[in-house]
Amino acid sequence: MEFDMAHLARLSRRDPHDPALKDLSEDLASIVGYVGMLTAVPDRTPEEVAREVTVGAGLVLLREDAVRPSFDRAALLAASPSNEDGCYAVPVAIEKGVAK
Amino acid sequence: MSASSDLVRLDALELAARLRCREVSSIEATRAYLDRIERYDGTIGAFLHVRGEDALKDAESAQHLLDAAASGGPEAPAFCGVPVALKDNLCTQGIPTTCASRMLEGYIPPYDATAVARVKASGAVLLGKLNMDEFAMGSSNENSSVKPVRNPWDATRVPGGSSGGSAAAASASFAAFALGSDTGGSIRLPAAFCGVVGLKPTYGSVSRYGLVAFASSLDQIGPLTRSVADAEAVFGLLAGRDPHDATTVERPASAVAAKRGVKGLRVGIPKEFLTDAVQPEVRDAVKRAADWLSAEGAVCVECALPAVASWIPAYYVVSSAEASSNLARFDGVRYGHRAAEYDSIASMYSKSRSEGFGAEVKRRILLGTFVLSAGYHDAYYGSAQKARAHIRAGFDGVFRDHDVLLSPVAPQTAFRLGEKSGDPLQMYLQDICTVGASLAGIPALSVPAGFDGEGLPIGLQLTGPAFSENVLFDAAACIERSAGCRGRFPDLDRAAAAAKGA
């Protein structure tokens, strides 16, 4: 199977020009070839799958909808690579005067 | 208590008892562990972060509680003063948590994982954070971005992964017990390779809050210990409902029933895991363990497990799909590595991720992205979910006739460093015996059951229906009693010499 590695890289927010993608393409071919045997699994209705795929207790319990203390804002910002004026600092996403 | 080498070899419950009666102090125990880590961990590589003086301060605080309890004050908590260590994917407030990844280098969480909070509430002293495969992706601990972990029984071999640091730390007596996480075998495989007990609990038993997510429908936190009784005690303090993890439940009353032994226990031995592909000494260990269980009244018979051929494919599709989604959050904005040079926000994301993640993580993100992508989703991810339903139904059928399944944990004992790292598919096949329980969400435990001809530990797996941990502990205790592995410890001086010669 041939893979569009540049497309997969973009989907996974990777550099599509990363030279390591060539080796990964070979690994992917081997792994996908192996997991391809899954296509032989007998079909089931989505309802059957949904019911049977629940794991463990198979329950989802929600917590009480109550106000409670949250994280300290300064502690969260301190974990970031950079921050300014109480906000996460990121590169400019929309530049002035370049609209087309 | 005499020599510190004896002190560090005590089981956690035994040490806790001696601390309570003040035969030994927490400071003495903590110092003994820190000295041992200092002396030998340069060879083993189990720790990524050792707390040193901070651990000694915590030991002092624990000792105050123990002293107060001895003077008629409030009872000290269960593991008060017992030194322990944690896998580095468990968030620890104020202590680095890196998942052995460059991506999280320097990250210090602002909160404790629920499992960590529960361990702290038990009075345990945290010695440090343990090495692992990056983001828990691996079966040999060779995928750590910092350094590989070496097996204490033979330092030229892997400790198993991904909780390799946790297993090595318990095995090498670097901590009284360790916590790890298991997504497809990441507690059980290293426990088997390093000769310790490791439990993957029923999905929903232990809160995942604060566990850095790999595959959310599979991840569970569990103990790695030097005895079955310790594993049971640590599981008891971890398990239970947590409002921060909606999948957690209280254990049903039947799951915390009193000991019943193995008399009348119906033990199935899946013939799929006794083929020629399995190391003969491992196959023999399964047969010996069946004899031990039978001698105590269990009824052991061969059985067939349906759909085993689909276990590995289904696991690697589901886990990689979930990993590709979970790891999308690492984009260099809120925490983690950010590339130094970029020319747009898109290039900041891609460069940060390309630089921050290691090869195996990138491989699984790409696989997960592929199986979820348009045109392939139904053929791969959809089929894997159907296969998972079949696997779960297969276990349900087997457990109508059997209470517990006995099998190898891995097809062979610990392999050499570098032996399989060049072929990802061969590495994935290490998980052949363990991923079934993960996909079904049922508990499974690895217990030491002897050694092979090269002196390497053999671990056996016990698997049961949801919330049957108490049955697994009973069966494991029988194997532990008969195998005679307790009281045998790896020779770390020999390990150091072997590592130098390798």
Tens of pLDDT, residue by residue over B242-267, are 999 989 988 776 676 666 789 999 99
The active-site residue, picked from B162, B173, B227, B310, is B162
The answer to whether A71 and B111 have CB atoms below 8 angstroms apart is: yes
Q: How far apart are CA B337 and CA B223, in angstroms?
A: 30
Q: Is A11 helix (H, G, I), strand (E, B) or coil?
A: helix
pLDDT band at A22 (very low <50, low <70, confident <90, very high): confident
Q: How far apart are CA B474 and CA A8, in angstroms?
A: 48
Q: Highest mean pLDDT range out of A55-59, A75-79, B476-480?
A: B476-480
pLDDT band at B227 (very low <50, low <70, confident <90, very high): very high
Q: Is the pLDDT of residue A51 over 60?
A: no
* Residue B387: both structure tokens together: 């296969």
> How far is residue B446 CA from its own chain's centroid?
10
Residue type, B352: S
Active site residue B87: yes
pLDDT at A64: 79
Average pLDDT for chain B? 95
Q: Highest mean pLDDT range out of A3-17, A33-47, A48-62, B45-59?
A: B45-59
Q: What's the pTM? A: 0.95
Strands B83-87 and A87-88: unpaired
Tell me: the pLDDT tens digits for B149-194? 999 999 999 999 999 999 999 999 999 999 999 999 999 999 999 9
pLDDT at B183: 98
> How close is the nearest chain B Cα to the Cα of A19, in Å?
11
The active-site residue, picked from B26, B122, B139, B186, is B186
| Residue B475 dihedral angles phi and psi, to the nearest 5° | -65, -40
Exposed / middle / buried, residue B301 (Cβ in 10 Å: 0-12, 13-18, 19+): exposed
Of the candidates A18, A76, A23, the residue with the CA atom closest to the CA atom of residue B347: A18
* Residue A16: both structure tokens together: 């599509």
> How close is the nearest chain A Cα to the Cα of B376, in Å?
11
Q: Is the pLDDT of residue B1 over 60?
A: no
pLDDT at B122: 98
Residue appearing with tokens 């990844």: B101
pLDDT at A44: 64
CB-nearest to B386 from A34, A49, A81 is A49
| Residue B48 dihedral angles phi and psi, to the nearest 5° | -100, -25
Q: Is the pLDDT of residue B147 over 50?
A: yes
Q: Which residues lie below 8 Å from residue B20, measured CB to CB, with a gap of 6+?
A: B66, B69, B70, B76, B80
pLDDT at B199: 98
Residue type, B366: L
Of the candidates A50, A46, A56, A67, the residue with the CA atom closest to the CA atom of residue B246: A56
Of all residues in chain B, what percent carry a pLDDT higher than 90? 88
Q: How far apart are CA B80 and CA B123, in angstroms?
A: 4
Tell me: the pLDDT tens digits for B33-71? 999 999 999 999 999 999 999 999 999 999 999 999 999
Of the candidates B184, B100, B98, the residue with the CA atom closest to the CA atom of residue B409: B184
The answer to whether A55 and B443 have CB atoms below 8 angstroms apart is: no
pLDDT at B2: 47
Q: How far apart are CA B328 and CA B322, in angstroms?
A: 10
pLDDT at A2: 81
Subunit contact B392:A55, Cβ cutoff 8 A:
yes
Q: What is the DSSP letter of B329?
A: G
Active site residue B254: no
Q: How far apart are CA B318 and CA B199, in angstroms?
A: 22
